[in-house]
Chain A
Amino acid sequence: MADPVATTGVLTAGDPAHAEGLSFHPMDQFMVKPLFGDYGDPVYWYTITNVTLWMALAVLCVVGLFVLGTSRRAIIPNRVQSVAELAYGFVYKMIEDVTGRDAVKFFPYVFTLFLFILFANFLALIPSSFSPTSHIAVTGLLALAVFLTVTIVGFVKNGASFLGLFWVTSAPLAIRPVLAVIELISYFVRPVSHSIRLAGNLTAGHAVLKVFAGFAQVAAISPLAVLGVTAIYGLEVLVAFIQAYVFTILTCVYLKDALHPNH
């Protein structure tokens, strides 16, 4: 890591050999930068950065949709209120269908995760914005929170019988230990796949958008590149919603394991 140019290869902006020609910086959009002050200022845990800005905007969207939008409490809702009620009903029905009626007390928790990821994903689609959910630190914490919640709730609710999750009684006794090892591994891989799925999808989409945008620098293929950016952008709008949905529904599935480990 001593010499940045050597370690990052052709895609590094600092590489003098490629400064003149095509220059891709697909990863620069994920950089954490202080909002105030210079580029190179150090980033402490309390520094107000672009992470702060875009997360705050997500919070503001939640406030706008759920506090300002529903302030009329109308029996016949206007558009914003219908959207808020639609989102409420969507997640409520999801947790009721997937996890069960007794899981409704986790609804605010699941809904918080859903709304944060949804708005962070959608706000990240604004050009030159920053996407917090593409960062493994962010999604890792979200997934770890889910993992810890599931594990703690599982043991508090079921005690030691929660371990029955790993002892598959429907399988023959001989292969149960093997299955237990596999189940245990898959249980601990859950937070990894849970977080990397979200961060990876977002990173991949945004990096591809940037690469296509980089191709637009070449006049001959720039119309194609712009067309490609448009198409991928449409796909990314879909991915932004689906990844929020998938993260939420997997949270519900994991919670179901915690509440009902035996089926």
Chain B
Amino acid sequence: MEIEPIDLEAAGYCVNSLGSAIGMPQLCDAWFANQIFWLVVALVAIYLILTKVALPRVSATLAERSGTISNDLAAAEDLNRQATDAEKAYEKALADARAEAQRISGEARAAIKADLDAAIADADKRIAAKSAESEKQIAEVRAGAAASVAEVARDVAAEIVTALGMQADRSTIDAAVSSRVKGN
């Protein structure tokens, strides 16, 4: 391979005639100015990019994210509290409903008991009235029967006396029958 000889005068003293480095390229002061110039340009460019665009944007995004996260956490806390409240309200409603049901059933029971008691009392009263009437009737019947017996006895006695050929006066017979009937 033919390597074109290079102009050593122009290239400086860090490159040999074959285009290879002489010594350490890092120590070649002919190149320092170029490196330093472009380094300054690069650093200034990066610094400007960072301070003008990148860092405000990234820090804003990070702040926004932490804000969003804390907001979401607060919202979650809020929702959690709401859920707890709702559960409490539900349980309260349940307890109320249970108490109400108990009250209503108690009332119903009381009402039924009152009706029942009234009905029983009424029935008792009616039964008592009926039995009193019946006893009265029985007493009447009995009295009527006793009177009839006395009548019959009187008539029979009068007839017997007559049949015996005697004359009996009416009041004597009555007294005798009455004493006999009563005596029995």
Contact = CB atoms under 8 A, between A and B. Distances in A.
B37 A14 contact: no
B19 A59 contact: no
Nearest to A38: B6
Contacts of A28: 20-21, 25
B24 A88 contact: no
Interface stretch (A5-13, A163-171, A252-260): A5-13
Nearest to B11: A40
B53 A49 contact: no
Contact of A32 (B13, B35, B45, B65): B35
Interface residues of B, number: 54
Contact of B34 (A47, A77, A107, A109): A47
B100 interface: no
Contacts of B11: 39-42
Nearest to A62: B46
A182 interface: no
A77 B24 CA distance: 45
Interface string B18-58: 11111111111011111111111111011101110111011
Interface centre among B10, B39, B51, B65 (most CB of A within 10 A): B39
A112 B47 contact: yes
B35 to A, nearest CB: 4
Contact of B35 (A63, A89, A137): A137
A75 B65 contact: yes
Interface residues of A, number: 63
Contacts of A4: 16-17, 22
19 contacts: A4-B17, A12-B16, A12-B20, A13-B16, A28-B21, A31-B21, A32-B35, A39-B11, A40-B10, A40-B19, A51-B34, A59-B49, A63-B49, A66-B53, A70-B58, A73-B64, A77-B61, A141-B40, A142-B39
Contacts of B57: 66, 70, 73
Contacts of B25: 27-28, 30-32, 135
9 closest Cβ pairs, A-B complex: A40-B6, A66-B54, A13-B20, A45-B33, A40-B11, A55-B42, A30-B25, A32-B31, A4-B16
Interface in A112-143: 112-113, 115-116, 132, 134-138, 141-142
A58 interface: yes
B20 A70 contact: no
Given A14-B17, A55-B39, 7 more contacts: A32-B28, A44-B34, A49-B38, A108-B47, A112-B43, A141-B39, A199-B26
Interface in A57-79: 58-59, 62-63, 66-67, 70, 73-75, 77
A115 B46 contact: yes
Contacts of B173: none
Nearest to B57: A70
Given A25-B21, A88-B55, A59 B35 contact: no
A85 B62 contact: yes
A56 B28 CA distance: 22
A14 B22 CA distance: 9
Nearest to B27: A136
A248 to B, nearest CB: 14
A40 B54 CA distance: 40
A43 interface: yes
Contacts of A32: 25, 28, 31, 34-35
